[in-house]
Chains A and B, each alone.
Chain A
Amino acid sequence: MALIVDALSWALLIAGVVLGITGAIGTIRFPDFYTRVHASSVTDTLCALCIIAGLILQAGFTLVTVKLVFILLFLWYTSPVATHALVRAAHHMGLPPYLSNNASADAQKGKS
């Protein structure tokens, strides 16, 4: 039983970490602000869920679990809203998105 729980939390932690690294690579590699937001925000919530679920499996039913659940809820609640506010502000302030008609020039820039 303990082995199964350990294996499960291993798997969840690894999944969370892999998601986090994926998002990090996305924020470095993607060409403009809006695509970077996409990379980081989409991975963020599932990464938090996986890591915190992995920790909860280790913690058992204690006050620590309650706090972990609260951290997860706060992250789930705040990080999409923060992303929304960020993109809205950027768009409102006129940050130009990366569109297909200037894609060729930027793709060459990316290659060189």
Chain B
Amino acid sequence: MIQKAVMLCLGMALSLSTLSAQQCDLVLRGKVLHLENNQPIEAAYVWLPESSIGVATDANGNFTFRNLCPGKKTIQITFIGHKEIKQSIQLSAGTSNLTFKMEEEAVALSGVEVHGHREAVQTTTAVSTLYGEALLQSRGESLGESLKRVAGVTTFSTGNTISKPVIHGLHSNRILILNNGIRLEGQQWGAEHAPEIDPFLADELTVIKGAETVRYGPEAMGGVILVNPPALPTTDQSKTELNLVGHSNGRAGNVAVSHSGGSNIIKGLGYRIQGAARRAGNVRTPQYFQGNTGMSEVSGSAALGYSSTKLGTEVYYSYFTTQLGILRDSHTGNLSDLLEIIENGAPFTQADFTYTINNPKQVVTHHLAKVKAHYHLNPSWKLNFQYGFQQNNRQEFDRRRGDLNARPSLDLELFTNTAELFLEHNLKSQWTGSMGLNLIQQANSNLPGTGVTPLIPNYDLVNAGVYLMEKYLKGPLELEAGLRYDYRTLSAARYIGNDLQEANLNYQNGSAFLGGMYQLNANLAFTSNLGTAWRPPNVNELFSQGLHHGAAAVELGDADLTSEKSLKWVNSLEYETKRTSIELTGYTNKIQDYIYLNPTGETFVSLRGTFNVYEYLQADAFFYGFDLSGTYNFSDHFKGYAKGSIIRAKNTETNRYFPFIPSDRMDWGLSYEFGKDTERQNRLTLSQVLVAQQSREPDFDLAPAPPAYSLVNVGFSKKIQLFKHDFSVSMQVNNLLNTEFKEYMNRFRYFTADMGRNFQLKLNYQF
């Protein structure tokens, strides 16, 4: 039923996009970029003297003039610290698309602004960014939860505290997360291992939906998530932001502070410090508390940067630590325990509210430090260097007897070094591009003393890559292509009982992409990107052997697995008018030798009872799907939005479905803005989330897919001036009707219903 509704609504939203061609209405679109680094310039002023109209560029450097008459026009672009552009253009029928590159002023005038050097995403594939108001709405949520706001992104979660982003059906090691430009390297292979990052450090979360292996290295098969902090100030200006978030469900509290400033003594020197803390207790479903689902988290980051006209440097450090309680009843002793609780559909343990976190639990700490520098060899060529160091410690505690209870059953320490050297060019002609070298070194150790044979071995990994990318930009057309070659070695060792197990493995692969963007007319743009990606098998897929505690499963790795290779084709159509904006993305992803955990159907008997046996297998897979998102302004006050996504994934060898592929879903909402002055500072929102039942289930699952569900959320936000600064208050109620539901993509659907009604209060003050 809901599935039908999803389809219907998607269809309706599509039909809204009927184009209306108007007579003699010319449109001029353009993009303003920094010549030296191709980054968009925000707030450059674009002026048409003949028509006496002007606009400022947006965050992506874009500007649009509408309703222009044909003829010769002068265009004038100014931006502080840059040479003015004055150009004559001929406007004829349709749309004109122009790109302007502004050169920095060589003369050091007083008050010249040295701009921050922030990396902008330059890609022709589908990109969605969460920032500003939308990001503010998501404050206090984990990275995975926040990104659910992007069409095509869902989560693969383990209860309410652990959620991993899923892009177009792929997650874990098949997507990449970049913390300020450095690949986040934790123990991402585990389904219950959440990314070690707090979105509070970012002022922008970007999702790239294409296969971006060439740019970012292996494993970026499903997509890339960029968690970007704001650019460092380069002038003597300071900004402080304070966030307070409270949730009724779990009685969670969240505080986050960030402060950035620039030096007035040393021009171009800027800094930023940021910290956040979060505490939550047991989560409540509509009927009961989930025992031991509290969490606590502390994170922070600091950055110091110096920018001069030619040199830009940045030192960055981020810290993240969390303690996560795992639902007590999800940790089962054997298969009959597991089946009993699945049949019960709810935990047996009656829990009350508490903040106390007992075993089973996870304690994870992540340090990331990076140094970055770039040097402008000349206005067209730039040399970049980036080095990152990461340390990840993961401890997982089970319920154990005696002294062992205080000792982790899994105690991993992972060091990662990443180094990148690349040369970018941005020629005054239409060509831009980069070439570079990329090195990843990783060392994983099991810390002794767990009293458990390690799930994965100790290993050393080195990955070296070289790449080349080139982009051609002319008017409405952008074309881009790239090539990359990677070589990886892996040497692993571990004791199983008294036997030393060793393995030395090598993998190598080439990858390539070709992409383009074409502005069809004033309102319609088309992008297409075809990219190959590869992913070497992960250590757990190669070497798992033994009992997965709590999951009542014995998992068997296979050291002979080969690399996965994928070919992803993403197409997207963007339509934008004053009232309507629609984005439709369609993709196919053909993955050769897709690695998956297959139930063998066998059981294994021990003194502890019976366990299911799973093994890692490879098969060819085919994924395809659509994402649709759109907004429509009914009036100045009244807005509506809808978005949805559909994914299909099949094992093309057996023609069967894979487990844990998101079901069809959509959400839509209405907002009404009102207020005394023109700024309309009050906003009322109503939204509904519709999730269909996953009818494409694999042959084996412990429990059938949960039924479809619908959730209603309401919110009210108000912006006021407090001591002459922006203060915003927002109140949201999620799951207003306290609907009991289970989400197919939540591994805890076997044990418990999902979160019930949750009142949220969010305060944000910027000064």
Question: Do the two shown chains form a genuine complex with each other?
Answer: no
Partner-B contacts on A (CB < 8 A):
none
